[in-house]
Amino acid sequence: MIEDEKIPEKSQIVSGENAINKVSVSGVESINFQTSVNGISRAKLEVKIQNRFNWRGFTILIVEDNFISFKLLEVLLKNTFVTILHADNGQKAVDLVSQNPEINLVLMDIQLPLLNGYQATTEIKMIRPALPIIAQTANTMDDDKIKCIKAGCDDYITKPIDFELFFKKLDLFLQVNN
């Protein structure tokens, strides 16, 4: 049995122990992380996530225009068995929600082209008021959090992502709302 270690707390895309070593557009498998994250081997971390968070049958829409940020989230969520949909702008997010009633949760970046995250959230909430939306943004000011909540987001997480908090929030919303 795996010891009850914490999932590493912070992800840094550009430097440090959690750095991405290689990025290629050929797919999620081509993003390689270092073999250890905050002292926990990558393989052990993947097994820990699989054992703790099994979201088979759930669908998450990731709304993120930055390809590397999207791939990071995709890699993190891969071991939870969740189905992932992707929109790279706010308008696509609104369209995907209206066309896919199986979406259980939305991870919404705020700074997006065409329709920003605030506007997309407001429109999504008109279509599906009970659909949980978690804002994920580099904006860390209290005013930003308030603005996200006023737009209709149910919660807020900052970048760099605190892994432990990220997985706990997703698990809470997926279990409570389904």
User: pLDDT of 50-78, one tens digit each?
Assistant: 678 889 999 999 999 999 989 989 988 98
What is the rounded CA–CA span in Å between residue 106 and residue 131?
8
**What's the mean pLDDT when you consider all of the chain?**
79
What is the rounded CA–CA span in Å between residue 161 and residue 109?
12
Q: What percent of the chain has a predicted confidence (pLDDT) above 90? A: 53
pLDDT-derived band at 8, boundaries 50, 70, 90:
very low
Q: What is the pLDDT of residues 77-86, one digit of tens each?
A: 988 999 999 9
- Does residue 86 or residue 25 have the better pLDDT? 86
Beta-carbon-side half-sphere exposure of residue 174 (alpha carbons within 13 Å): 22
Indicate yes or no: pTM above 0.95.
Answer: no
**Mean predicted confidence (pLDDT) in 125-148:** 89
Q: What is the 3-state secondary structure (H, E, C) of the chain?
A: CCCCCCCCCECCCCCCCCCEEECCCCCHHHCEECCEECCEEHHHHHHHHHHHCCCCCCEEEEECCCHHHHHHHHHHHHCCCCEEEEECCHHHHHHHHHHCCCCCEEEECCCCCCCCHHHHHHHHHHHCCCCCEEEEECCCCHHHHHHHHHHCCCEEEECCCEHHHHHHHHHHHHHHCC
Least confident of 12-21, 26-35, 60-69, 74-83: 12-21
User: Which pLDDT belongs to residue 161?
Assistant: 82
Please answer whether residues 117 and 149 qualify as being in contact, where contact means their C-beta atoms are separated by less than 8 angstroms: no
Q: What is the dihedral of CA 89, 143, 128, 73, to 10 degrees?
A: 50
What is the rounded CA–CA span in Å between residue 20 and residue 154?
30
Domains, the chain, ordered by start: 54-176 (3.40.50.2300)
Residue 135's DSSP bridge partners are 108, 156
> Shortest CA distance to 7 belongs to which of 79, 68, 86, 107?
79
